[in-house]
């Protein structure tokens, strides 16, 4: 039985969910795929770092972080505070990179992934930034190192978007897509339909953890724009940065606008689109009123939806209903399995 050491760079809700999922799926990994995993390193932004070549107790790490203690208590050897040096010393074969996204540069996540690949690791991330800003560089480096750079969770959590085009849809040309890619704004607009003001909806979103302390990346459309950029860059082969997306968020949507749309049987949604027009790419994120005939009309809560237009399949949609950290963690696990088996 092969044992694969992994390390975690970033240990927020997704990282903790990944620890739990890896533990739960060990029998499946052993029986179906012929390997098991151990965690040799965890680095956090606020709770220190831990290194142990013989394996870290992931549940103990979760307990320490939850109680505000440092991971240094379970580190068998001194762990560097610098993330790049930490990656070099963690003795892992796979790195999971889950630090906060930088919409404008993709850093420092891009350097974390580059360092892991240079050290001979498979590099897996849920971070959208490097997929957009360093995709060509990291893909080339992965090929050179005979390793994988994978990022299934970067756009729709655990939904198989990138692997769908990598495997089951060979020889298709993606001509465009549209959908709802930011679950936060979809929830906020739904709350406004229930009578909350924009400010009340945002505060509720903060209270349940669906928005960040500063929710501007969601409500101003940056998160949606970088997801559009990731899909266009990887699946359409047309590199696109978030600031090249025609972007309008939902700040201008009032409760009166919501009510007026409902009175006509329509709903406001933050719609993402990307289309090939001639040799150019037209990408947009903007609020739109959608009628009941639109597949976007029934996307509620924190669900997401994307519909692809291909030369061979005129309409293929993927719906993800109310995801959480566990679904994002599953995307990371799927990438791990695919990296190991070369899929």
Tell me what pLDDT residue 337 has: 97
Query: Tens digit of pLDDT for each residue in 254-312?
Result: 999 999 999 999 999 999 999 999 889 999 999 999 999 999 999 999 999 999 999 99
Query: Tens digit of pLDDT for each residue in 229-255?
Result: 999 999 999 999 999 999 999 999 999
Are 281 and 274 contacting, i.e. CB atoms less than 8 angstroms apart?
yes
Tell me what pLDDT residue 44 has: 95
Tell me what pLDDT residue 19 has: 98
Comma-separated ranges of CATH 3.30.360.10 domains in the chain: 174-320
Residues 307-330 have a mean pLDDT of: 93
Tell me what pLDDT residue 169 has: 93
d(CA 124, CA 156): 15
Tell me what pLDDT residue 213 has: 66
Are 239 and 135 contacting, i.e. CB atoms less than 8 angstroms apart?
yes
- The pTM assigned to this predicted structure is 0.94
What are 124's strand-pairing partners?
A: 96, 150
* Domain 174-320 in CATH 3.30.360.10: yes
Task: Report which of 285, 20, 9 is spatially closest to residue 126, judged by C-alpha positions.
Answer: 9
d(CA 283, CA 177): 10
Judged against a pLDDT cut of 80, whether residue 143 lies above it is answered with yes
Q: How confident is the model at residue 343 (pLDDT cuts 50, 70, 90)?
A: low
| Share of residues in the chain with pLDDT > 70 (%) | 99
Tell me what pLDDT residue 1 has: 84
- Residue 110: both structure tokens together: 């891009």
Mean pLDDT of the chain, nearest integer = 95
Query: Tens digit of pLDDT for each residue in 50-85?
Result: 999 999 999 999 999 999 999 999 999 988 989 999
d(CA 305, CA 50): 38
Query: Tens digit of pLDDT for each residue in 127-137?
Result: 999 999 999 99
d(CA 44, CA 15): 10
d(CA 88, CA 284): 40
Are 86 and 99 contacting, i.e. CB atoms less than 8 angstroms apart?
no
Tell me what pLDDT residue 144 has: 98
Comma-separated ranges of CATH 3.40.50.720 domains in the chain: 2-158+325-341
Supply the CATH classification number for the domain 2-158+325-341: 3.40.50.720
Tell me what pLDDT residue 79 has: 86
């Amino acid at each position: 039985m092969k044992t694969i050491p992994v390390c975690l760079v970033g240990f927020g809700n997704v990282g903790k969910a990944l620890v739990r999922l890896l533990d739960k799926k060990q029998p499946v990994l052993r029986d179906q795929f012929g390997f098991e995993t151990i965690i040799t390193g965890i680095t956090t932004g606020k709770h220190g770092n831990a290194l142990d070549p013989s394996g870290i107790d992931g549940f103990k790490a979760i307990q320490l972080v939850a109680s505000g203690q440092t991971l240094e208590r379970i580190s068998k050897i001194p762990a560097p505070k610098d993330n790049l040096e930490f990656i070099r010393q963690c003795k892992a074969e796979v790195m999971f990179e889950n630090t906060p996204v930088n919409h404008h540069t993709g850093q420092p996540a891009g350097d974390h992934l580059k360092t892991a690949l240079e050290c001979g690791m498979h590099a897996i991330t849920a971070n959208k930034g490097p997929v957009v800003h360093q995709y060509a560089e990291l893909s080339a480096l992965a090929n050179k190192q005979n390793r994988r750079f994978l990022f299934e969770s970067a756009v729709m959590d655990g939904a198989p978007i990138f692997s769908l085009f990598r495997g089951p849809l060979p020889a298709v040309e993606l001509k465009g897509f549209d959908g709802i890619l930011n679950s936060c704004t979809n929830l906020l607009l739904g709350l406004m339909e229930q009578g909350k003001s924009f400010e009340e909806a945002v505060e509720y979103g903060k209270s349940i953890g669906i928005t960040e302390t500063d929710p501007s990346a969601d409500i101003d459309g940056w998160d949606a724009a970088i997801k559009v950029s990731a899909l266009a860059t990887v699946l359409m082969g047309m590199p696109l940065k978030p600031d090249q997306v025609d972007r309008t968020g939902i700040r201008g949507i009032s409760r009166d606008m919501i009510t007026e749309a409902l009175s006509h049987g329509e709903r406001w949604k933050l719609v993402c689109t990307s289309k090939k027009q001639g040799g150019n790419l037209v990408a947009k994120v903007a609020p739109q009123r959608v009628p009941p005939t639109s597949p976007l009309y029934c996307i509620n809560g924190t669900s997401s939806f994307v519909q692809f237009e291909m030369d061979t399949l005129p309409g293929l949609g993927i719906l993800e209903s109310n995801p959480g950290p566990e679904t994002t963690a599953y995307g990371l696990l799927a990438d791990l399995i695919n990296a190991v088996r070369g899929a």
